[in-house]
Chains A and B, each alone.
Chain A
C-alpha cells in the first residue's frame, strides 16, 4: 500500500499535474482502493473547516504585508544603510546582502520575496565594485532563504497548522538558528575572500557621519518586527492577530512614505489573493490526503516499516534528512513540505523528537531545497534579476552556501538546543 501510494504520487507529480489536483486525486484513489467507507463524503465539511481556520488567515495577511513592503521602497533604503555598516568586512557588500536579507526576513514571511527584493536592489553593485559575480549572486540566493527561518514565516504557519504545533514556539525556535545561519553565511564569504582576495571587490567609502545618518532607515523594518513579534510574546495578540497588526503598520508606513495609492493597493490585493488561492487549494487537498492516509492506515505502516528496519531514531533522522535533500533538488519547497509532513511528522514525534525542533530542521531543509539545482526557486529568482548571464553562475555561486546550510543542519542535529533553548526559557 505504501509503495503504491508513493508510486502514484510520483507519477502524478512527474506528469506535472497541478499539486493541489494531484494531492486530491491521490487522496481519492486511496479512498476508492483501500477504504471501507467513502471518505470523500467528508470533503465538504473538511474544506469549509480548513478554509475558515483562523490560524491560516495569517497567510493572506503576511503575503499582503510583503507586497506592501515591496511596493513602499523601504528595501532600497535598508540596503544603503546596511552597506554603510557591514561593507568594511572582507567581501564588502556581500555582507550587506546577507545583513539586509536577515533584516528583511524578520518582516517578511517568504524566502522568494526576500531574494527578489534584495536581489533587485543589489545586482547593480557587482560591476561597480568588481566583485566575483558568482559568489555575489550566491549571497543573495542563500541570504534570501533566511526569509522562512527567521520569524514571521508563512511556511512555519503552514507547518504549525498541519502538525498542530504551537506557532509562537516555532517562531522563537527559529530566531537563534536564523542568526547563527546568517553569521555562518558571512563567515563563508570571509573565508572565500581571504583565500581569494580578488573576489572581494574594492573598498566602499564609508564614514561614521554617513553611518549615523542612514541609521533611521533601519527603523521601519525593526518597528514592524517589534510590533508583529512583540505583540505575540506580550500576550497582546495571537500569531494571526499580530499579522493583522503588521499589515496595518505597513500600510501606515507606506502612507507616510507617500507610496499608498489605489493602484498600489489593487496590485497588492491581486498578488496577495493569487498566492493565497494557490496555497489554500493545496492545503484543502493536503488535508483530505492526510485524512485518507491516516484512515486507510498508511501512517501506521510507515511507522511499522521504520520500526522493523531496526534503525535507531538518530539513524532514521539522518535518512529523513537525506530523503529531503534529494527531494528538494527536484521539488518546489512549500509543496514538498505540504505533501510529506502529514506522513513524516507523526513518525518523527513517535520516535521521541520534539515537533518544534523538527519544524526548524524542516525550514533548514526547505532552505536548502530553495538553492539546490536543478529546481531551486531562489536560483531562478536571482537569475531573473540579473541583466545578463547564465543560470549556471548562480548555481555555482550558491554551492558554498549549500555547504554552509548542510553544516547548519548537522549543527542543529547535534545541538538541538540551538532551536529549543529560547522557547524553553520563554515558556
Chain B
C-alpha cells in the first residue's frame, strides 16, 4: 500500500513538472505572440486560447501532488487545540469530503468530455480546436486526483483503525505553519549556500 502511494507521489511529481514545462512553454508562446503582433501587425492569435488549455491541464495534473504534499489549505484554528485522535478523525473526514468533491468533478468532467467527443465540438475560435483533446487531458488529471484521494483515504482509514495515529498525521494531517516553514527554510538555505562563496 505504501509502495503504491510512493509510486503515486512520484507520478504526481512528474505531472507537476510536465505542467510547469507547459506553463513555461506557454509563456514563450505568449511572448512570441506579442512580438509578432507588434512588429508585423499580424494577428497570430490563439496564444490566449492555448494558454487556457494549459491552465486547465496543468492545474488538474497538479491536484494530486497538492493533496499528497498536503498543500490544500485547511483552517486549523480549532484543529491545533484538539487531541491527536480527534485530529486524525478529522483528517479522515477531510479526505472523505475531498473524495466526494473529486469524484463529482471527475464525473461531470467526463460528461463534458463525452459530449464534446460525441458531437465533435470545436472551439469557436480561429484555431477551432477539437475540444475533446484538451478536455481528455484535463479529465485524466481529475481522474488521477480522485484515484489518489481514494488511495490516501483507504490508507488513512486503515491506519486509523489499527491505531497508527502517526501515519494518519504524516499522510493526511493538516500542515501547521511551522512545518511549512521548515521546508521553506530548508530550500532557502540550500539556495543560499552557493551564494556564500560569491566574492
Residues of A that sit less than 8 Å from B by CB: 12-22, 24-25, 28, 40-41, 43-45, 47-48, 51-54, 56-57, 59-61, 64, 70-71, 73, 76, 116-117, 120, 231, 236-237, 240-241, 244-245, 247-248, 251, 259, 265-270, 272-278, 280-282, 284-285, 330-332, 334-335, 374-375, 377, 380-381, 383-385
- Known interface pairs A16-B174, A57-B55. Does A374 touch B77 (Cβ–Cβ under 8 Å)? yes
Q: Is B181 a contact of A284 with CB atoms below 8 Å? A: no
Q: Is B78 a contact of A244 with CB atoms below 8 Å? A: no
A100 to chain B, nearest CB (A): 15
Q: Is B20 a contact of A116 with CB atoms below 8 Å? A: no
B14 to chain A, nearest CB (A): 10
The size class of the interface chain B forms with chain A is: 35 or more
Q: Is B112 a contact of A281 with CB atoms below 8 Å? A: no
Q: Is B101 a contact of A274 with CB atoms below 8 Å? A: no
Q: Across the interface, which residues of A come within 8 angstroms of B182, CB to CB? A: 384
Chain B interface, DSSP helix/strand/loop, else mixed: helix
Q: Is B177 a contact of A54 with CB atoms below 8 Å? A: no
Query: Taking the complex as formed, is B4 at the interface, i.e. its CB lies under 8 A from any CB of chain A?
Result: no
A182 to chain B, nearest CB (A): 24
Q: B24-43 toward A: CB 8 Å interface, digit per residue (1/0)?
A: 10111011011000100000
**A390 CA / B111 CA spacing, docked (Å):** 52
**A334 CA / B54 CA spacing, docked (Å):** 23
Q: Is B71 a contact of A19 with CB atoms below 8 Å? A: no
Q: Is A270 a contact of B34 with CB atoms below 8 Å? A: no
Q: Is A384 a contact of B111 with CB atoms below 8 Å? A: no
**A21 CA / B97 CA spacing, docked (Å):** 6
The 15 sampled A-B contact pairs (Cβ below 8 Å) are A17-B98, A19-B72, A44-B111, A48-B112, A57-B54, A240-B48, A245-B30, A245-B34, A265-B20, A273-B23, A274-B69, A278-B66, A375-B75, A375-B77, A381-B181
**Contact residue among A44, A56, A275 (Cβ-Cβ distance under 8 Å from B112):** A44
Q: B171-199 toward A: CB 8 Å interface, digit per residue (1/0)?
A: 00010011011101101100110110000
Query: Taking the complex as formed, is B108 at the interface, i.e. its CB lies under 8 A from any CB of chain A?
Result: yes
Number of A-B pairs, beta carbon distance below 8 Å: 243
Q: Across the interface, which residues of A come within 8 angstroms of B79, CB to CB? A: 16
Q: Across the interface, which residues of B come within 8 angstroms of A380, CB to CB? A: 177-178, 180-181
Q: Is B98 a contact of A273 with CB atoms below 8 Å? A: no
**Contact residue among A16, A53, A56, A61 (Cβ-Cβ distance under 8 Å from B90):** A16
**A171 CA / B109 CA spacing, docked (Å):** 34
Q: Across the interface, which residues of A come within 8 angstroms of B181, CB to CB? A: 380-381, 383-385
Q: A43 — nearest CB in chain B belongs to which residue?
A: B108
Q: Is B26 a contact of A236 with CB atoms below 8 Å? A: no
Q: Is B97 a contact of A52 with CB atoms below 8 Å? A: no
Other A-B pairs beyond A53-B52, A245-B31, 14, CB < 8 Å: A12-B97, A16-B78, A16-B94, A17-B94, A25-B101, A53-B55, A70-B188, A231-B34, A267-B187, A270-B20, A273-B61, A273-B65, A274-B71, A280-B55
Q: Is B74 a contact of A384 with CB atoms below 8 Å? A: no
Q: Is A330 a contact of B77 with CB atoms below 8 Å? A: yes
Q: Across the interface, which residues of A come within 8 angstroms of B47, CB to CB? A: 241
Query: Taking the complex as formed, is B58 at the interface, i.e. its CB lies under 8 A from any CB of chain A?
Result: yes
Query: Taking the complex as formed, is B168 at the interface, i.e. its CB lies under 8 A from any CB of chain A?
Result: no
Query: Taking the complex as formed, is B62 at the interface, i.e. its CB lies under 8 A from any CB of chain A?
Result: yes
B126 to chain A, nearest CB (A): 15
**Contact residue among B38, B52, B60, B178 (Cβ-Cβ distance under 8 Å from A54):** B52
**A269 CA / B24 CA spacing, docked (Å):** 9
Interface centre among B60, B100, B101, B194 (most CB of A within 10 A): B101
Query: Taking the complex as formed, is B166 at the interface, i.e. its CB lies under 8 A from any CB of chain A?
Result: no
B142 to chain A, nearest CB (A): 8
Q: Is B191 a contact of A22 with CB atoms below 8 Å? A: no
B196 to chain A, nearest CB (A): 11
Cβ < 8 Å to A, chain B residues 126-179: 134-135, 138, 174, 177-178
